[in-house]
Chain A
């Protein structure tokens, strides 16, 4: 159990770095509180696994420090850091029984047989593996194997942090739910810092109290699922989270006023600066309403997902997606829409203007 601090971390897999693209991670600083549940969310190749491996000690960062409870552990290996990590696909020791698999990390740390037996029993019960303890681990199904990997992480009571690297990738969809709720339940039960890496927003948002969104080696926003949804700090967050993602529309700023397709738009954030090479409006499809006046749009297509309707529209400023209840009457042809001011943000060079 520990607080984890990352200070100005940068990492590159190359010997020499010429530009930003050569860095897998760029200047990451973050504080993770003790016994919190965090998710690292981002698309493939955004650097989240690199960051995870730096926290666990499998990788040494090119620059910066990793601190556990304010103690610098940057140069320590995974064993010295006392961490647990669960990988994308189940890693099990084929030749061992389920029991021996779970006991392995404890045996390596020289615990007595009695202690090992009681710990393994406890964890096996928690993960519902008790009946298979004597079986060969290689004979289990994918989710059973992943439970073993999980169990090996949980069996040690002293771990500082448990890390999950997209642990549900190989699990069948109907079992994903089961394992995910199991994880959440375990977090409440054992109360340890957990970091969960995924590219699946549903997984991230249901698991974590705090979600860290990564994009091109940088952290673009950290916040609760609600914050990420309601106030994305970067156009990437708006676009990546939510289904469909945020409408990002080009706009012009003149004299502190926002102009979109010939219309004046009022936004939640006030515009103090305007020296950007690119300015955009961000508005989620959920917060756009049809009305008698406002921005004139043409309805292009309506698709019904059951609970919602997604409406594709077009206006002079660009294409706008609108999400409405399934029961809402959709006007046909040309109509007008208004943006809910509270959830309308202006972005300069992709970052929210504050």
Chain B
């Protein structure tokens, strides 16, 4: 669309700008402020320079949390994206099945995150939970509160349960926007099911999939509430992802300086990845 140049448009943006700046800029300044200082309570601060940043960047605790975070995000992307596409491909295209699928599949997305955690906690408990009880009954020695492997398995399964539907809905919408003539042409050209997917469906879903990956990256990288309620970051620190570790540091130990420095590094990582993604997306849009 041809947009006209109009500086007065800023007037329209002011409410949004003020509201977001009020929420983002001021607290962010506080974080920056803390990150360079040491606090002794009673509003006494001492300048610390980049000490906290160095300390965080060199700390094993941060490396471990970051490592767990990357592993977690990577695994859930690897499961949710193909699974989401697969389910979208098999979903009905018309009839009564469509609203049923859409409504039931959207359910997990609208449950408060700590309820998700609590629900999975009682679902997975080895003595009274359906999942834990069943796994033990068929011979697995499963206990997510004790064994790190089981804790990871449960956390990932919970996230798959919680968020795969988002990928499904996005992919489904992408698939539905494909004109039937494409499928007919492929049929006439003798394309196999795989070729139809590879050369028609996948390219047409590119935009929504980029979005799905971006959203899932962002949200899984920021994940806090669900694993906090489910495992509390344990056993030990095995499921303490970045946010959990950060809140522990900031509110639990009140190490404001290091926590602030960690916040900034954390935010910076998310921004960097999203910025790369955003540019790729814009490049795609410019192409098509």
A residues within 8 Å of B by Cβ?
53, 56, 58, 77-79, 83-85, 87-89, 91, 93-96, 104-105, 108-109, 138, 149, 152
Contact = CB atoms under 8 A, between A and B. Distances in A.
A85 B199 contact: no
Contacts of B191: 104, 108
Q: Is the interface of B mostly helix, strand, loop or mixed?
A: helix
B190 A79 contact: yes
Contacts of A89: 179, 181
Nearest to A96: B199
Contact of B190 (A53, A87, A108): A108
Given A96-B199, A138-B288, A91 B182 contact: yes
For chain B, which range describes its interface: under 10, 10 to 19, 20 to 34, or 35 or more residues? 10 to 19
B188 A108 contact: no
A56 B190 CA distance: 13
B195 A58 contact: no
A104 B188 contact: no
A26 to B, nearest CB: 24
Most buried by A among B181, B187, B188, B287: B188
Given A87-B181, A108-B192, A108-B195, A94 B203 contact: yes
A134 to B, nearest CB: 17
Given A93-B200, A95-B203, A85 B185 contact: yes
B6 interface: no
Contacts of A93: 199-200, 203
Contacts of B192: 108
Given A58-B184, A138-B288, A108 B199 contact: no
Name the residue among B189, B190, B288 with the largest chain A CB count within 10 angstroms: B189
10 contacts: A53-B184, A58-B187, A79-B190, A83-B188, A91-B184, A96-B199, A108-B195, A138-B287, A138-B288, A149-B185
Given A93-B199, A95-B199, A138-B288, A56 B185 contact: no
Given A95-B199, A95-B203, A96-B199, A78 B181 contact: no
Interface of B: 179, 181-182, 184-185, 187-192, 195, 199-200, 203-204, 287-288
Nearest to A149: B185
A109 B179 CA distance: 24
A58 B189 CA distance: 12
A207 B187 CA distance: 27
A84 B186 CA distance: 11
Given A95-B199, A95-B203, A138-B288, A105 B184 contact: no
A78 B188 contact: yes
Contacts of A87: 181, 184-185
Given A85-B188, A104-B189, A152-B189, A91 B199 contact: no
Nearest to A86: B185
A249 B288 CA distance: 54
Most buried by B among A58, A88, A96, A149: A58
A95 B200 CA distance: 9
Contacts of B195: 108
B192 to A, nearest CB: 7
Nearest to A109: B190
Nearest to B189: A105
A108 B190 CA distance: 6
A6 B166 CA distance: 48
Given A108-B189, A109-B190, A152-B189, A85 B184 contact: yes
B123 to A, nearest CB: 42
List 9 A-B pairs, minimum CB-CB distance, nearest first.
A108-B190, A91-B185, A87-B181, A105-B189, A79-B190, A78-B188, A93-B199, A95-B203, A94-B203
